[in-house]
Amino acid sequence: MIVVTTDHVPGREIADTIGFVRGNTVRAAHAGEDLSAYFKNMVGGEIEEYTKLLAESREQALDRMIAEARARGADGIVGLRFATCEIAGGCAEILAYGTAVRFTAR
Amino acid sequence: MTRGASEPTREELLAMAYADGELSGTEREEFERVLERRADLRELVARELRLDVLARASAGPEPMDLEWRAMDAEPLHRATLGVGLTLVLAGLALGAFGLLYFLWASALPRAVPIGVTAAMAGATVLGARALRARLRTQALDPYTEIRR
């Protein structure tokens, strides 16, 4: 599965546009991580707990988008984008979306 | 040729086309007037739209989804949600009633400590339920080892 942020893949021709695919998730850190992050926030530097939380969410949203593209018979996703919003304090929502396509056979 | 019982009527076909956004401007307006009169067609359009939404989410269930479904079927899991929410809401209602009574009569009724205890018990039940669900699904969560 080729997943790119561009609208085209060099050397590959899009034979069929299957349509919009997306995957999203909302994840939260546990209370201990939130407490640790709170104190790190006071002294500065990277808050690893939240870096990890966002990375987990990003990968899960990506996997869900790819699973949907596979289920619809795609072999690539072009125009990948990420979007995020805050649905509740301490939660990370990530939406990954793009256009599922089928490439011509090589 | 006779029409079979399972064959859709003209209105039903129009309802499906309407849900798929396939009707032209005047056809759509005419059908919307029919929809105002026909509750059965409104239900059909709603059913078609629901199917469209389901068809868009075509990926299969994840292992964690199956575990959530199994838990939702367990009487204990369902009961703890009902019991927890009831205790919290009843506790808050008793507490609010007690505070209003306090403002009116300047005496704290027994409803306040009972309400606070009930709300705390409900919150504990809901917390324990969430923790149990997390412990059961954690092994099926493939993202816990990601660092950045």
Say what the pLDDT of residue A84 is. 92
* Contact: A68, B147; criterion CB under 8 Å: no
Select the residue of A30, A56, A71 nearest B60 (Cβ to Cβ): A71
Model confidence at A87, pLDDT cuts 50, 70, 90, reads confident
Question: For the domain bounded by A2-103, which CATH number is listed?
Answer: 3.30.110.70
Contacts of residue B147, defined as CB under 8 A and 6 or more positions apart, other chains included, come to A48, A51, A52, A55
Q: What is the pTM of this model?
A: 0.80
Say what the pLDDT of residue B1 is. 44
Question: Following DSSP, what letter does each residue of A31-57 receive, concatenated?
Answer: HHHHHHHHHHHHH-S--HHHHHHHHHH
Model confidence at A62, pLDDT cuts 50, 70, 90, reads very high
Model confidence at A86, pLDDT cuts 50, 70, 90, reads confident
Select the residue of A23, A55, A67 nearest B148 (Cβ to Cβ): A55
Say what the pLDDT of residue B94 is. 94
Order of strands across the sheet that contains A14-28 = A2-3, A76-85, A91-103, A14-28
The nearest CA of chain B is from the CA of A25 a distance in Å of 12
* Contact: A55, B57; criterion CB under 8 Å: no
Model confidence at B5, pLDDT cuts 50, 70, 90, reads low
Strand partners, A81: A97
Closest alpha carbon within chain B to A68: B59
Model confidence at A45, pLDDT cuts 50, 70, 90, reads very high
Strand partners, A45: none
* Contact: B143, A60; criterion CB under 8 Å: yes
Give B147's contacts in chain A (Cβ within 8 Å).
48, 51-52, 55
**What is the per-residue pLDDT across B17-38, written as a single tens digit (0 to 9) for each?**
998 889 988 999 999 999 999 9
**What is the per-residue pLDDT across B89-117, written as a single tens digit (0 to 9) for each?**
999 999 999 989 988 888 888 888 999 99
Domain boundaries, chain A: 2-103
Paired sense of beta strands A91-103 and A14-28, if any: antiparallel
The nearest CA of chain B is from the CA of A104 a distance in Å of 23
**What is the per-residue pLDDT across B28-83, written as a single tens digit (0 to 9) for each?**
999 999 999 999 999 999 999 998 888 777 788 889 999 999 999 999 999 999 99
Say what the pLDDT of residue B8 is. 84
Q: How many helices (H) and strands (E) does chain B have?
A: 6, 0
Contacts of residue A98, defined as CB under 8 A and 6 or more positions apart, other chains included, come to A3, A20, A21, A22, A65, A69, A77, A78, A79, A80, A81
Question: What is the number of other CB atoms lying within 10 angstroms of the CB of residue A70?
Answer: 17
Q: Which of B44, B52, B116, B47 is nearest to B87 (CA)?
A: B116
Percent helix, strand, coil in chain B, to 5, is 75, 0, 25
Task: Choose from B143, B144, B145, B147 for mutation: most chain A CBs within 10 A.
Answer: B143
ipTM value, please give it.
0.81
**What is the per-residue pLDDT across B115-139, written as a single tens digit (0 to 9) for each?**
999 999 999 999 999 999 999 999 9
pLDDT above 50: residue B84: yes
